[in-house]
C-alpha cells in the first residue's frame, strides 16, 4: 500500500471523503524521512506541520535543566505533532525526536486549515482527531495521578506491547515517571509472575 492510500484508509475509518475532497488534501502531502535521533520539532520552534508516521517511532518530551519528561510515543499509522504549538502557533514546549528511522508524510498547517475551510468532512475529521487526543491525554493524566508505576506498566503491556518492546528502559521509565532502576525491578517482578 502506498503512503497516500495508508493515510486515506485511516481517515476513512472516521469520515467518508469524496475523491475531490481527498485530492484537495492529498496534493499538499509531503513525504519526509528522519534519521534516528533527528528532531521533527524542537522546543522553542513554532510547529508548522502535522505528521503521519508510516514507519518508525517518535518520542514527545519536555526537558528542564535537571531532567527529561517523556509525554508520549507515536508509531506507524499514527499522527504526531507538537500539537499545542501547532494549534496556537506559539513556540513549542516539547521536542519530537525520532527514536528510529522515521518515514512520514506531513501537511503544512496552512494547507490543513484550507482543507477545513473547503470541505466540511475535513473539518469534522480534524474535530474527531482532536477529541481522540483529548481523551487519550485525560486518561494518561488520570493514570499518572492514580496508578502505581507497576500498574501503569501492566496497562502498557496489555494495551501497547510494541511500546514496551521497542522503547529503551530510560525513555520508558521517563514516561512512567520513575527511575530506570525502578522500571528494571518492576519488569523483573512482572516476568516472575508470568
Q: Is residue 38 part of a domain?
A: yes
Count of domains observed in the chain: 1
The cell numbers describing 47, all together, are 510547529
For residue 92, pLDDT over 90 is answered with yes
Q: List Cβ neighbours of 88 (8 Å cut-off, separation of 6 or more).
A: none
Is 114 in contact with 105 (CB distance < 8 Å)? no
Q: What's the CA gap between 117 and 111, in Å, rounded? A: 10
- Give per-residue pLDDT as tens, 103-153: 999 999 999 899 888 888 888 888 888 888 889 889 888 988 899 988 988
Range of the domain at 32: 3-119
Nearest alpha carbon to residue 30 among 101, 100, 93, 110: 110
The cell numbers describing 7, all together, are 493515510
What pLDDT is attached to residue 154? 86
For residue 171, pLDDT over 70 is answered with yes
**CATH number of the domain that 80 lies in?**
2.60.120.10
For residue 191, pLDDT over 90 is answered with no
Q: Is residue 66 part of a domain?
A: yes
Q: Is residue 181 part of a domain?
A: no
Q: Is residue 95 part of a domain?
A: yes
Q: Which of 5-14, 72-81, 133-142, 174-183 has the lowest mean pLDDT?
A: 5-14
Q: Is residue 186 part of a domain?
A: no
Q: Is residue 190 part of a domain?
A: no
Q: Is residue 92 part of a domain?
A: yes
Q: Which of 57-66, 75-84, 183-192 has the lowest mean pLDDT?
A: 183-192
Q: What's the CA gap between 145 and 164, in Å, rounded? A: 21
More confidently predicted of 62 and 26: 62
Nearest alpha carbon to residue 35 among 16, 19, 55: 55
Q: What's the CA gap between 10 and 78, in Å, rounded? A: 9
Q: Is residue 149 part of a domain?
A: no
Q: Which residue has the cell 476513512?
A: 12
* Three-class SS state of 99: coil
Amino acid at each position: 500500500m502506498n503512503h497516500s492510500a495508508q493515510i486515506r484508509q485511516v481517515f476513512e475509518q472516521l469520515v467518508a471523503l469524496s475523491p475531490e475532497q481527498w485530492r484537495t488534501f492529498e496534493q499538499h502531502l509531503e513525504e519526509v524521512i528522519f534519521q534516528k535521533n533527528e528532531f521533527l520539532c524542537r522546543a522553542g520552534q513554532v510547529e508548522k506541520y502535522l505528521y503521519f508516521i508510516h514507519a518508525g517511532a517518535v518520542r514527545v518530551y519536555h526537558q528542564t535543566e535537571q531532567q527529561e519528561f517523556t509525554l508520549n510515543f507515536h508509531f506507524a499509522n499514527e499522527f504526531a505533532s507538537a500539537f499545542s504549538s501547532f494549534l496556537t502557533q506559539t513556540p513549542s514546549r516539547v521536542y519530537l525526536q525520532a527514536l528510529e528511522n522515521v518515514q512520514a508524510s506531513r501537511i503544512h498547517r496552512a494547507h490543513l486549515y484550507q482543507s477545513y475551510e473547503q470541505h466540511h468532512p475535513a473539518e469534522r475529521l480534524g474535530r474527531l482527531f482532536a477529541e481522540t487526543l483529548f481523551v487519550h491525554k485525560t486518561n494518561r493524566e488520570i493514570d499518572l495521578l492514580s496508578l502505581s508505576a507497576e500498574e501503569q506498566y501492566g496497562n502498557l503491556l496489555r494495551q501497547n506491547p510494541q511500546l514496551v518492546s521497542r522503547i529503551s528502559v530510560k525513555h520508558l521509565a521517563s514516561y512512567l515517571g520513575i527511575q530506570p532502576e525502578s522500571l528494571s525491578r518492576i519488569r523483573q517482578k512482572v516476568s516472575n509472575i508470568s
